[in-house]
Every structure is written in structure tokens, then in C-alpha cells.
Structure 1
Amino acid sequence: MTVKDYPAEQLAHQPIGYWAGVAHQAVVEYTKATLRKEQLTQPQWWVVNLVGESPGTWTRETVAEQMAAFAEPGLSFAPLYAQLFSRGWLDESPDGTLHLTPAGQTGTARTHTRIVRANARIHEGITEEEFLGALAVLRRMIDNTGGDSDVPWWASGAELVGQASPYGMNTDARGE
């Protein structure tokens, strides 16, 4: 689909809350559709991704606490764990720490590849400058309304070092 052009005078009066909401819904639904190809829900993806990044450091409780900030209210993690255990993706040590099984490692890697492709599609036709400008505007509006415009813990950069951005930026330890 091609984005239709409108006069700047018309776009200048558009409600940002509406467009931010539409963008959020479209991106989240596209991501969820990508995850469904691996028979995963978004919260299941959060679990395997977090556990896979730091093997042996997370328990059921600490994962749920960490994810509560952006999980839908009332989300129960117990069924998520049960599904991942029965699927053979997740295992629990006697000390309560969670680990990805070999099947979980393979599935997580496969899903990560799908997510990288999905993110590239989401960013298609958007320059790095446009993306950074859009983020700056949204963060300023969040700050102007008393919200928290800080970069979230899960996208703070440490875990992104060495990963390519959708714009070809490859960050290293120096942020370059």
C-alpha cells in the first residue's frame, strides 16, 4: 500500500493520540502475526527471549515481575510457562532458574530471524533520520504531558550492542 499524500495544512491538525494509537495497534498486530507463525504469543516471546539472553538468572517470579510493566493487566504467567514447558522450549532447574532447552534455543533463534525481518518490513521506506525524528517528537510529547520519556530498560542499548538496526547501523560497545 502506498501512503497517500495530504497537504501539510491538513496533516498539521491531525490528532497525535489517534495516529500514535493506530501505529501502535498496527505494529503490535503485525508482530503478533509474525509470532503466530511460530505458534507463540507475544508474552511467550518475551519469556523465551528474556530467559535466552541470560540463561540461569531468571525464575518464574523474576520474569513475571520484569514483564509486568508492559503486560496486559491481569496476565497470568503460569499458563505461559506451562505451555512453554509442555512444548519443550523451557526447562526449570532444581533451584528454580529457567533455561531454554535445545528446542527452545532453536525456536527462539528461528523466531528472532522472523522478528528481524518483520522489523525491517515495518521500517521499510523510512529513513534513519525520519525514524529518529519521529521518536524525538513522540518522546517530547510524552515528556510535555508528564509521562516517562526515558528509553525503556529492555531497549536501553546494552543488549543491542552488536546488533544491526533496521537502518544498517551496527552498534558496538562505543555506540558506533
Structure 2
Amino acid sequence: MEYSHNDAELIQQPIGYWSWAAYKAVVDRTRAALAGIGTTQPQWWVLAQVARADTARTRDEVSRLLRNYLDTGSDTMESEIDSTITRGWITEDSEGRLTITAEGRAFYDKAAALQDELWAERHAGVSDEEYVTTLKVLQRFIHNTGGRAWHQ
């Protein structure tokens, strides 16, 4: 890979631009790949939360957990939960508990395999040590600017 600048020039580059450019590239690629198999990124989040849960999660729990992720918003998450129900991937009981269906499990497995492929694509040529260092540096930037990340 050829880099845009040498090290002396990179030290002068704005983190805001490069973190945004990385975010945009990763999110655009992920969303396009998920669209290619017929889903949206928020629908994937809903499906993953329900499929991976040890006990049934309620609609409110899933919506509350995901509504601020990537600035999605509560209205969008409610709509995306409804879409996963309409598609037959999850069901909702009278108490709002969400359960994955057989069709949902099959689709989840397909989408999870795609996510694994995307992970490998993104991490090509990046060591685990470099990845961890990158995340620690980004967390330090968030802390230093008074920000708060979703996972904190």
C-alpha cells in the first residue's frame, strides 16, 4: 500500500479528517455489502442483538441499546425492529420480548459470515498490535476532547 504522505507530513495531518474518512469508508462498505444480501445495517444490529442474547431481550432494550449507535435515532431503530419482524426474522410477544425465528437464524448466519469476511477485508495487512494501538489512540482522542463513545 502506498501512503498519502511521508511520516513527517502525516504528523501534521488532521485527525478529524482521517478518522471521518476511515469511518465513512468502513460504514459505506459495510452498508453496501449488507444491502447486497438484502438488509440494512440497523436491521443487522437488531438481528445480532436478538440472536446473540442469552435471554430474550425486549423491544425497549434493543431499541435503547442501539438508538444512539452511529446517530441512528429512536424512530429509525423502532422502524428497523418492525422491519425485522415483518420480514419474519424475529417475533415479538405480548410483553415485547423478541425471539429469533428459524428463518431469522438462517439469515443471521449468512449475514454473520459476511461480517466475518468484511472484518478480514478491513484488517488485511493490519496486525492485532496495530489495531489495538489504533483503538487506544482513538479512545484517547475521544477522552481528550471530552467526548463519549458508545462502547464506553
Q: TM-score, normalised by structure 1?
A: 0.77
Structure 2: 5+ residue runs without aligned partners? none
Whole-Å Cα distance in 2 between the matches of residues 25 and 75 of structure 1?
23
Question: Relative contact order, CA 8 A, sep 6+: which one is greater?
Answer: 2
- Deviations 1:62-117 (Å, cap 9, x if unpaired)? 21111123142464334323322222111122332111110000100110010011
CA distance in 2, matches of 1:73, 1:97: 21
When residues 129 and 60 of structure 1 are mapped into structure 2, their CA distance, relative to the original with a 3 A threshold, is same
Identity %: 31
Which whole-Å CA distance do the structure 2 matches of 1:13 and 1:82 have between them?
46
Secondary structure in 1 matching 2:99: strand
**Pairing 1:128-147 to 2, within 5 Å after superposition:** 128-147=128-147
Secondary structure, counterpart of 1:3 in structure 2: coil
Matched residue type, 1:113: A
1:125 aligns with 2:125: yes
Amino acid at match of 2:9: Q
Aligned length: 151
Cα pair distance change 1:12/1:61, threshold 3 Å: same
Deviation of 1:38 after TM superposition, in Å, equals: 2.1
Normalising to structure 2: TM-score of the pair? Answer: 0.88
The answer to whether the 8 Å contact 1:55/1:100 transfers is no
In structure 1, distance between residues paired with 2:78 and 2:129: 42
> For the residues of structure 2 that align with 1:4 and 1:25, how far apart are their CA atoms?
18
Q: Does the 8 A contact of 2:60 with 2:96 survive in 1?
A: no
Report the structure, 1 or 2, having the larger helix content.
Answer: 2
> Contact 2:43–2:80 (CA<8 Å) still a contact in 1?
yes
Please identify, of 128-137 and 76-85, the stretch whose mean Cα deviation from structure 2 is larger.
76-85
* Contact preservation (8 Å) 2:92, 2:99: yes
Aligned equivalents of 1:68 and 1:81: distance in 2? 11
**Counterpart-to-counterpart distance in 2, 1:139 and 1:47:** 25
Deviations, residues 32-73 of structure 1 (Å, cap 9, x unaligned): 112112211111111110011126522222211111231424
Moved more, 72-81 or 60-69: 72-81
